[in-house]
Amino acid sequence: MVIKDIDKQNKLTAGLDWVQFQIDMKIENIINDVLGLEPELFIEKSGNLRYYDYEKYWVYGEIKLYFTEKSDTPCMVQFSGSGWSFYKDNYLDLWEITEFSYIKFLDSSFGQLIDPKRLDMRLDDFNDKPYYTPKTLLSYCQKRRLLYGRSTFYKPFGDDYTGRTLYLGADDSTKKTRIYDKLVEQAKKLGIRPKDLAEDMAVKSWIRTETEFRQDDVKAVWLEIIKTEQNELDFYKGYLKGKIKFLDKQGKFYSPEFWRHLMSKTKAWSYKISKKQTPILDKINWFIQKGALPILKMYQFLYDNEITTAPLDQYPIDWLIEESRYSKSLATEIIKYLAELNDLSKDKKMDLIKQVQHQTKDTNSQFD
């Protein structure tokens, strides 16, 4: 049994699948110093990136460097899945640099200039009989016996014929995981039958697990990679072991046999994201701690006791709040704060943002 487990473990690979970060450097320096490539390899094209003000990018082998000449927005380095695979296969492997070693190089050489934006990790299972499939985990999800963190949210796609995909985590989650039949997906891209691709690759099955980290989560995982002494496989397995939990029929934690074998000798780990102070929280703290709240209490006291504040007019506080409007700068801060909250659904965020926009100052308002 031990030899069988070792053989199965040997058919697992793991690493990064998407790497994206902003870096405050000139394009030529990024290409030379950060990527170790020659500028002549890149072609300049027009194109933007959603949520950013870029209007151009340089591209080579699906490696894209977005930039703008209209503002001081730092350049964006984007390795898509195929872009990272191209860079790893043709350069990192040639230089005998592991994926994690490259991330550590970025931190040690350009740490203060880099702002991670997205990082995907992958686990590929090439065993003839994989440890699990999307269908395996789906059966636990449907019985509410699989927890992804504290969430039971899941979303399945496809079938046995078209290829199954299972998403763990909400649509707007900043640490969403998906499990899918990579063999079927790649065959579709190539326009061939999965059977033919399997023969070309000399495999019978290829199941991939991916986790996409964004916002505060990508920053936290980036730091964990910098600190770790583990390789990519042990690191990502440790994340999955710490994140995915199974329940027995009585609702108690347990590990199915396939999970025990997969995670044998794997050390689970997790990370915490400390709540950072924002302009909105600073304003709330000032309102409560610096005297504004007592002044509001004083105003209410004078109004309730009909004590004049001439020559100033007096109005009920509720009416004042209802009639007041946010300044444009404050509205911008509120919208940014709402957009970065991870525990609100996308629809809820949009509804709240629309309310803020509706309550923003009009130049004709008496409160401007």
* pLDDT tens-digit series, residues 64-92: 999 998 888 899 999 999 999 999 999 99
Strand duo 56-60 + 146-148: pairing: unpaired
User: Which residues are registered as beta bridge partners of 34?
Assistant: none
At 233-284, the pLDDT tens digits run 999 999 999 999 999 999 999 999 999 999 999 999 999 887 666 777 777 7
Find the DSSP H helices in the chain. Answer: 2-9, 27-29, 81-87, 99-110, 134-142, 182-190, 194-201, 215-227, 232-243, 257-262, 279-289, 292-304, 317-323, 328-339, 346-358
**Domain assignment present for 272:** no
DSSP state of 263: T
**Domain assignment present for 270:** no
**Domain assignment present for 283:** no
Amino acid at 175: K
pLDDT at 4: 60
Domain of residue 159: give its range: 2-262
The two three-digit tokens of residue 262, written as one number = 């997969």
Is 337 found in the same domain as 255? no
DSSP three-state, residue 344: coil
DSSP three-state, residue 140: helix
**Domain assignment present for 245:** yes
Is 244 found in the same domain as 157? yes
Distance CA 172, CA 112 (A): 28
Is 167 found in the same domain as 304? no
Residue 363 pLDDT exceeds 60 = no
**Domain assignment present for 78:** yes
Distance CA 360, CA 356 (A): 6
Is 221 found in the same domain as 328? no
Distance CA 247, CA 145 (A): 5
Is 316 found in the same domain as 252? no
At 136-149, the pLDDT tens digits run 999 999 999 999 99
Is 322 found in the same domain as 251? no
Number of domains in the chain: 2
Helical pair 279-289 and 292-304, crossing angle rounded to 10 deg: 50
| Between residues 282 and 326, the one the model is more confident about | 326
Q: For the whole prediction, is pTM greater than 0.85?
A: no
Q: How many CB atoms lie within 10 A of CB 173?
A: 20
Q: What is the mean pLDDT of residues 193-206?
A: 92
pLDDT at 233: 97
Q: How many CB atoms lie within 10 A of CB 208?
A: 21
Please check whether residue 62 is in contact with residue 193, taking contact to mean a CB–CB distance below 8 angstroms. no
pLDDT at 2: 57
